[in-house]
Amino acid sequence: MIDDNTLLTNAHVVVDEYQNPTGMYEICRSLTMNTDPICFTYADLIYYDLENDLALLSLPDDVDLSNPITLATSTARENDQVTTYGYPRDGGDTITSAKGVVSGYEKGMIK
């Protein structure tokens, strides 16, 4: 979440196989690592950048996203241990996590 109504995600989740926005953005969340996500609202696409694989979505004003999880309080540095979370295309219906180590930065992106 960027603010109360703006969500940052990956551009590849908002486009189709031809790199065009799909126009349908259902917002879902998992309450635990082993449960299917619960979808509760839709969002509008504000902006997407395929080169950097980022997209911004606008949520309706009446959406309550209280108690968000704080994933980080500082910028990851080289050799820091990190965990990623997501729903990979071929990863099933529940959230997936992977652990790793920051090996460096390239073009402003963590490697």
Tens-place pLDDT, residues 30-73: 878 888 888 899 999 999 999 999 999 999 988 877 666 677 78
* Positive or negative: CA dihedral 34, 36, 42, 44: positive
52 dihedral zone (left: phi>0; alpha: psi -120 to 50; beta) = alpha
At 55, list the tokens: 């997209």
Residue 9 near residue 57 (C-beta atoms within 8 A): yes
Mean pLDDT of 13-38: 89
* pLDDT of 30: 81
At 41, list the tokens: 């609202």
At 110, list the tokens: 């963590």
